[in-house]
Amino acid sequence: MTNSAIDKIEMQIMWNRLIAVVEEQAQTLIRTAFSPTVREAGDLSAGVFDTKGNMLAQAVTGTPGHVNAMAASVGRFLEEYPLQILQEGDVLITNDPWDGTGHLNDFTVVTPTFQNESCIALFASTTHIADVGGLGFGPEGRNVYEEGIQIPITHLFRKGHLDETLMKIILANVRDPIAAEGDLYSLTACNRAGGIQLLAMMQEFGLPDLCTLGSMIINTSRDAMLEELGKLPKGEYRSRMRIDGYNQPVDLICALTITNDEIAIDFAGTSKQSSFGINVPITYTQAYASFGVRCVIGNDIPNNAGSISVIRVTAPKGSLLNAPRPAAVSARHAIGQMLPDLVLGCLAEPLEWQVSAQGAGCLWLPVIFGGPSVAGEYEGDPGPEFVINPFHSGGTGARPTKDGLSTTAFPSGVKNTPVEVNEATAPIIIWQKEYLTDSGGAGKFRGGLGQIMEFGHSHGAPFVVSRMFDRINHPAEGFAGGQDGGCGKTYISDGHLLPGKGRDLIPAGESFFIETPDRPNKFVLSTKK
């Protein structure tokens, strides 16, 4: 075996080892996180970057909206704090939607790693924190200033010392300060764990830096993606999707062009930005649009700066998919998570219809508030103050040779939070959680089943629910002759229908229902005793 062949094998081993390092980083975050959204649902991302801000590896655990948006955001950190002024023990943080991952609830933390007093890499991680103050997580804000506290790119730790003033400001502005503080420390800890593992790997292989390995990773991944593009028919392909929006339907329009050296995705013609919090910053649009491509083109190629460099995503400024500051963006996932299905619609023809049909798309994650501050004049026991953000989902679209997956989050990839965890975290009771029979839409292969859930207050007190749901009025469209999926529904146990987006008080003694897409248009009776 030649030295060249041995070198290639060794580089591949180090590449695989690097992926293992970031997976350990992600698992550290899960093990130490306070919030169920991270610990149970896995709403997070973790990755390692070179000193220019290029992502070299991402953890398998996590959601593409975080990962691919974070891939762009690390460069913004370096613009604000160039490498030469960073020191060992520094930890940077932001939740800025345009510099981070699209809304204020996502905190991104970046940590430089040093070897022999030289910065050799940056570790970044993101988690969703259930509450950041303001109106609370939901679509009701009219601008970002109403949606919660904003932290520009700044130091959380400086040379190993916590910025206690910053932490006090954050905790004074959120409804669950214990969870917020715990999750910020978890983000710091997971980056540190990644750095420790990286240094051990570099010592084992005698690496002075990541320059050679990083260049190999990026170039190999880019070349592999270009090879995949060479197999595809060239041209422009289009698709469109109408969904609920906030109080009127919105249109998502996509043109995808395949050439020898790139896939260009343009969302010209998409509805203009909303006056409510369903707008999407361009980084989040780019994240989920590129993920749609990666699902079916080069899906065995690791996701990094090289593999995503061949995908270019644009949207008109001022449109729903490129809303500039200070647009309200809290519920950007309700729109952004529809984009992979839209992109797959474009790719159906060049891939000879070997793509999945449309599914439920965005997560159904009600934000539930309770306690004296929302109970009003209720004379009974209102219970403690709480805010909880359980994650749930409808079914995925039918696949080319199989049924869709039931109650499975695509494209976010997060898990449904368990009933027992929700009930242990807050004074709520979940009276039922069941599959919705025959809810996937008819066809040779059906879509995945949706689910019904019934939420009540364990004290019988009133509580508030903020909703960011879609596909209530516009179902997932059938594909290649299959029928449309059913619509979702949200209502109170007294029969009062609620719109998919908004914030409402659930009266004392009543339950709140969600029926995730897809579902025939009829009520399911309460099982509450």
Given a cut of 60, whether residue 347 has pLDDT beyond it is: yes
Residue-wise pLDDT for 38-61, tens only, equals 999 999 999 999 999 999 999 988
Other beta carbons less than 10 A from residue 80's beta carbon: 13
For residue 157, the SS3 value is strand
pTM score of the predicted model: 0.94
Sequence ranges of the domains in the chain: 3-220, 356-529
- Residue 392 gets which letter from DSSP? B
Distance, CA of 503 to CA of 365 (rounded, Å): 13
The per-residue pLDDT for 6 is 66
CA distances, 48 to each of 51, 156, 311 (Å): 10, 19, 20
Tell me which long-range contacts 109-112 makes (C-beta under 8 A, separation of at least 24). 109/156, 109/184, 109/187, 109/188, 109/191, 110/74, 110/77, 110/191, 111/188, 111/191, 111/192, 111/195, 112/83, 112/86, 112/87, 112/88
Record the tokens describing residue 469, joined without a space.
């749901």
Lowest mean pLDDT among 247-261, 334-348, 440-454, 513-527: 513-527
Lowest mean pLDDT among 277-281, 288-292, 301-305, 438-442: 438-442
Give me the chain's average pLDDT, please.
93
The per-residue pLDDT for 485 is 83
Lowest mean pLDDT among 43-47, 231-235, 375-379, 389-393: 375-379
The per-residue pLDDT for 260 is 95
Q: Is the dihedral of CA 49, 190, 156, 35 positive or negative?
A: positive
Closest CA to 92 of 81, 105, 104, 103: 81
Record the tokens describing residue 50, joined without a space.
């070179």
Name the band, by pLDDT with cuts 50, 70 and 90, for residue 441: confident
Distance, CA of 44 to CA of 101 (rounded, Å): 11
Kindly give the residue spans of alpha helices, DSSP state H, lying in 349-468. Answer: 372-375, 419-425
CA distances, 164 to each of 128, 190, 245 (Å): 21, 20, 40
Distance, CA of 464 to CA of 387 (rounded, Å): 9
The per-residue pLDDT for 119 is 97
The full length of the chain comes to 529
Closest CA to 479 of 391, 357, 366, 352: 357
Tell me which long-range contacts 244-247 makes (C-beta under 8 A, separation of at least 24). 244/470, 244/471, 244/472, 244/473, 244/474, 244/500, 244/501, 245/271, 245/274, 245/278, 246/139, 246/274, 246/276, 246/278, 246/501, 247/276, 247/499, 247/501
Q: Mean of the pLDDT values across residues 310-334?
A: 98
Q: 431: part of which helix (H) or strand (E)?
A: strand 428-435
Tell me the residue ranges of DSSP E strands in 281-415: 311-314, 367-370, 386-388
HSE at residue 513, side-chain half, CA atoms within 13 A, is 26
The per-residue pLDDT for 525 is 39
Task: Decide the pairing of beta strands 263-266 and 311-314.
Answer: parallel
Q: Mean of the pLDDT values across residues 499-526?
A: 78
The per-residue pLDDT for 62 is 84
Distance, CA of 478 to CA of 493 (rounded, Å): 31
Residue-wise pLDDT for 257-268, tens only, equals 999 999 999 999
| Cross-strand pairs, 467 | 502
Given a cut of 80, whether residue 177 has pLDDT beyond it is: yes
Q: How far apart are the first and last CA of the chain?
A: 73
For residue 27, the SS3 value is helix
| CB contact at 8 A, 299 and 211 | no
Residue-wise pLDDT for 97-110, tens only, equals 999 999 999 999 99
The per-residue pLDDT for 125 is 97
Lowest mean pLDDT among 122-131, 393-402, 464-473: 393-402
HSE at residue 99, side-chain half, CA atoms within 13 A, is 21
